[in-house]
């Protein structure tokens, strides 16, 4: 038998103890009657008895009413102690509750032995709600000598309540827990629990003066999850004794969109190509319609028929030259809704802005004005003396251009945009490694997008130098004297440096070729790659996609002071997430990305959309809803179990019913006595 008092503090119990005392005192009191004159007092025995009432108190006599009243108060007081019993539980005295709050926990709890076909919205309980209920039942069974800790985890861990024996605090922390749309990573939660059971040392183990921060204290690790996370091998449980309480069902229904993207055709910018992948992560055959929406208008649809663990690709072609918000929706009902929608966005079809600073270079001009290059870029050619004007200073500090090309020249200060420098060094972070001389190219990095589809081994370079970039720079082309092409990051921008010019001047000032590259087919391809990847033509029309909860770093024009973040979901619903200040270099940090949807950054000064991005789950592991029978935790396979701990049986409800029956019985005796 155990007790969980319902009243807290001393004074409520003192008041309760005074109740039976007050009842008894009432039976000691004598009733003071009014005098009544009658012809003969011998005919009125009760009146004769009342004539002797001349004091306040009387002797306590046997009274069934008194006994019933005292018994009712005693049972009510007994019920307030909440007596109960529970089965024997092998408890270590300290428990760590790990509660999975990832997206898969939104699925119905179902029956572990049968299909999960009911949804939480139809009266069924979700996995998260079921796990929270089981944790609440376990908290109710805790004794005063036990303590517990509550940790939630999705792709990150959060300690909701540190170790405490206060059940009210644990319940309050449990009420604050919320399910998320994020993927699962349990390692952070395990490390949070590891701090108690496996305390760290203050110095090296071999140090004779070493002392422990705290004694190692075993703890029971109780994991409430569906097990849909990767194996945890780089972790040692130590004194943690794991128990895996499986939440969910082995038979599930779920179709998931695991990828969704859109891009404009570079040959025809008005044409949009949309691609998606749908995966059947359930245990039964599924069939549904996939509907494509542009700005909430249905434009196309496709039928999806998939067997378990099968996937299919969908493709759509639509026409639009404007900025659009795309949404792909699976119309069928299944066990998880968050992966039934996917979002993407496109900016208006347009050209990237490129400023070319050169004293004269016909080969460079021809390479940047090919038909393909003109479809994606607008190039402006100026001489080096333009860099001394106020117009250039304003242009370089505003980030107006997507790329600036410096041919045999360099600015006094690096501009706030990406740069491509040929035959010179962009800033003080770069330096020459060798003197000028003939070069032979021996290796190129074809994996980098700038050098894709290139063959450069046949090039002749009459004069060039090896370059050395700042820390973190990447060598793209290696020669016999060292790197001759490298790229490095600079405060969110990229600088590409080529160690030799395309043309040079002889002693008489006449222009002459320094390499035969301009006559090779690889030259216009190289410049096209630079426009696509360094100027951003490849990304100018497609908005990036992030997973829920990720921090988004957007780089805007630094002339903006703040932007408003707006999220758009299905049925045209738009929600403002507040204003965000624009930091140094035009960087905006957005952390309110917990919900899937299309996000827009709107300039506060002009109300124009300056950037877009999408948030989608896109996690095949998270969409696989079948409960895992075992999980790998720290080189140990943990079998799934049921709740395991017997729910506490409390007797306060029967006691209160007995109190009501005694009060009814006491009323019956009282009315019969008066009759």
The pair of structure tokens assigned to 97 is 């509750």
Mean pLDDT of 174-202: 82
For residue 88, give every residue at least 6 positions away whose Cβ sits within 8 Å of its Cβ, in sequence order, or none. none
CA nearest neighbour of 495 among 444, 531, 456, 534 = 534
pLDDT > 90? residue 286: yes
Question: Residue 253's pLDDT is what?
Answer: 94
What is the per-residue pLDDT across 129-174, written as a single tens digit (0 to 9) for each? Answer: 999 999 998 998 888 888 999 999 999 999 999 889 999 999 999 9
Question: Residue 195's pLDDT is what?
Answer: 75
pLDDT confidence tier of residue 62, bands split at 50, 70 and 90:
low
Backbone angles phi, psi at 171, to 5 degrees: -65, -40
Angle at which helix 167-176 crosses helix 127-140, to 10 degrees, equals 170
Q: What proportion of the chain, given as a percentage, has pLDDT over 70?
A: 79
Whole-number Å distance between alpha carbons of 601 and 611: 5
For residue 426, give every residue at least 6 positions away whose Cβ sits within 8 Å of its Cβ, in sequence order, or none. 406, 410, 411, 414, 419, 495, 497
User: ∠ at Cα 453 (448, 454), nearest 5°?
Assistant: 85
Backbone angles phi, psi at 151, to 5 degrees: -130, 130
CA nearest neighbour of 541 among 309, 301, 263, 332 = 263
Kindly report which listed range (156-170, 347-361, 515-529, 531-545) carries the lowest average pLDDT score: 531-545
**673 membership: H or E segment, kind and range:** helix 652-674
- Sign of the CA dihedral 617, 622, 624, 626? negative
pLDDT > 60? residue 368: yes
Whole-number Å distance between alpha carbons of 316 and 308: 24
Backbone angles phi, psi at 203, to 5 degrees: -155, -170
Mean pLDDT of 624-644: 83
For residue 444, give every residue at least 6 positions away whose Cβ sits within 8 Å of its Cβ, in sequence order, or none. 451, 454, 456, 476, 477, 478
The pair of structure tokens assigned to 80 is 């307030």
> What average pLDDT is seen over the chain?
81
Mean pLDDT of 75-88: 67
How many Cα atoms occupy the beta-carbon half-sphere of 229 within 13 Å? 30
Backbone angles phi, psi at 376, to 5 degrees: -120, -5
Whole-number Å distance between alpha carbons of 559 and 582: 9
The pair of structure tokens assigned to 399 is 């980030």
Question: Residue 501's pLDDT is what?
Answer: 92
Whole-number Å distance between alpha carbons of 139 and 647: 10
CA nearest neighbour of 267 among 378, 369, 365, 376 = 376
Whole-number Å distance between alpha carbons of 666 and 662: 6
Whole-number Å distance between alpha carbons of 375 and 629: 56
Report whether 468 contacts 327 (CB < 8 A).
no
- Sign of the CA dihedral 399, 401, 406, 409? negative
The β-bridge partners of 261 are: 275
Greater model confidence, 569 or 365? 365
pLDDT confidence tier of residue 239, bands split at 50, 70 and 90:
confident
Mean pLDDT of 287-308: 92
SS3 assignment, position 531: helix
User: Could you give the maximum distance between any two Cα atoms of the chain, in Å?
Assistant: 157
Whole-number Å distance between alpha carbons of 531 and 538: 8
For residue 86, give every residue at least 6 positions away whose Cβ sits within 8 Å of its Cβ, in sequence order, or none. 2, 141, 645, 646, 647, 648, 649
Question: Residue 26's pLDDT is what?
Answer: 64
pLDDT confidence tier of residue 536, bands split at 50, 70 and 90:
confident
pLDDT > 80? residue 542: no
pLDDT confidence tier of residue 205, bands split at 50, 70 and 90:
very low
pLDDT confidence tier of residue 113, bands split at 50, 70 and 90:
very low
| Strands, E assignment, 122-254 | 147-153, 157-164, 219-225, 240-246
Whole-number Å distance between alpha carbons of 183 and 232: 15
Greater model confidence, 166 or 195? 166
What is the per-residue pLDDT across 414-462, written as a single tens digit (0 to 9) for each? Answer: 998 899 999 999 877 899 999 999 988 888 888 888 888 788 878 889 9
Mean pLDDT of 535-557: 79
CA nearest neighbour of 74 among 19, 1, 9 = 19
Backbone angles phi, psi at 278, to 5 degrees: -115, 130
The pair of structure tokens assigned to 206 is 């071999």
- How many CB atoms lie under 10 A from the CB of residue 568? 21
Report whether 439 contacts 477 (CB < 8 A).
no
pLDDT > 70? residue 54: no
């Amino acid at each position: 038998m155990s007790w969980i008092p319902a009243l807290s503090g001393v004074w409520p119990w003192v008041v309760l103890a005074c109740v039976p005392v007050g009842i008894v005192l009432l039976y000691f009191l004598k009733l003071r009657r009014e005098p009544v004159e009658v012809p003969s007092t011998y005919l009125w025995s009760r009146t004769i008895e009342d004539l002797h009432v001349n004091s306040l108190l009387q002797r306590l006599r046997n009274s069934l009413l008194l006994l019933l009243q005292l018994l009712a108060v005693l049972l009510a007081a007994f019920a307030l102690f909440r007596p109960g019993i529970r089965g024997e539980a092998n408890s270590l005295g300290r428990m760590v509750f790990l509660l999975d709050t990832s997206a898969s926990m939104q699925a119905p709890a179902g029956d572990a032995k049968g299909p999960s076909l009911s949804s939480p919205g139809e009266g069924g309980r979700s996995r998260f709600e079921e796990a929270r209920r089981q944790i609440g039942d376990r908290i109710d069974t805790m004794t005063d000598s036990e303590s517990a800790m509550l940790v939630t985890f999705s792709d990150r861990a959060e300690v909701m309540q540190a170790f405490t024996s206060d059940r009210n605090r644990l319940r309050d922390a449990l009420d604050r827990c919320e399910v998320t749309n994020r993927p699962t990573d349990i390692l952070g939660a395990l490390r949070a629990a590891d701090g108690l059971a496996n305390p760290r040392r203050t110095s090296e183990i071999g140090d004779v003066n070493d002392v422990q921060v705290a004694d190692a204290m075993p703890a029971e690790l109780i994991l409430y999850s569906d097990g849909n996370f990767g194996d945890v091998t780089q972790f040692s449980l130590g004194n943690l004794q794991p128990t895996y309480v499986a939440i969910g069902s082995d038979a599930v229904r779920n179709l998931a969109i695991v990828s969704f993207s859109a891009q404009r055709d570079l040959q025809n910018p008005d044409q949009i190509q949309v691609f998606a992948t749908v995966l059947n992560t359930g245990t039964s055959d599924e069939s549904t319609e996939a509907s494509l929406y542009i700005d909430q208008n249905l434009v196309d649809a496709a039928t999806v028929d998939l067997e378990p663990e099968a996937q299919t690709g969908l493709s759509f072609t639509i026409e639009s030259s404007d900025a659009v918000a795309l949404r792909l929706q699976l119309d069928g009902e299944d066990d998880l809704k968050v992966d039934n929608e996917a979002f993407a966005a496109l900016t208006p079809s347009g050209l990237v802005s490129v400023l070319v600073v050169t004293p004269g270079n016909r080969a460079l001009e021809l390479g940047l004005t090919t038909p393909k290059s003109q479809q994606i870029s607008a190039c402006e050619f100026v001489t080096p003396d333009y860099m001394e004007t106020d117009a250039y200073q304003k242009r370089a500090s505003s980030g107006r251009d997507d790329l600036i090309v410096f041919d045999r020249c360099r600015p006094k200060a690096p501009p706030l945009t990406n740069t491509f420098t040929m035959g010179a060094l962009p800033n003080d972070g770069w330096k020459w490694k060798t003197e000028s001389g003939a070069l032979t190219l021996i290796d190129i990095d074809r994996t980098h997008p700038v050098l894709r589809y290139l063959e450069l081994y046949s090039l002749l370079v009459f004069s060039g130098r090896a370059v050395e970039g700042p820390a973190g720079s990447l060598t793209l082309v290696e020669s016999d004297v060292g790197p001759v092409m490298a790229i490095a990051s600079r405060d969110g921008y990229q600088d590409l440096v080529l160690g030799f010019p395309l043309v040079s001047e002889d002693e008489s000032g006449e222009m002459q070729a320094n390499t035969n590259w301009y006559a090779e087919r690889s030259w216009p391809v190289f410049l096209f790659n630079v426009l696509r990847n360094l100027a951003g033509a490849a990304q100018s029309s497609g908005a990036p996609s992030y997973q829920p909860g990720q921090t988004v770093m957007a780089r805007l024009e630094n002339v903006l002071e703040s932007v408003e973040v707006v999220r758009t979901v299905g049925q045209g619903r738009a929600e403002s997430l507040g204003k965000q200040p624009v930091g140094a270099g035009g960087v905006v940090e957005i952390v309110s990305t917990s919900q899937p949807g299309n996000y827009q950054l709107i300039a506060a000064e002009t109300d124009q959309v300056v950037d877009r991005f999408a948030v989608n789950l896109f996690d095949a592991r998270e969409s696989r809803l079948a409960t895992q029978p075992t999980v790998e935790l720290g080189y140990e396979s943990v079998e799934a179990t049921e709740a395991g701990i017997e729910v506490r049986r409390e007797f306060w409800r029967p006691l209160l019913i007995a109190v009501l029956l005694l009060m009814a019985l006491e009323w019956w005796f009282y009315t019969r006595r008066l009759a």
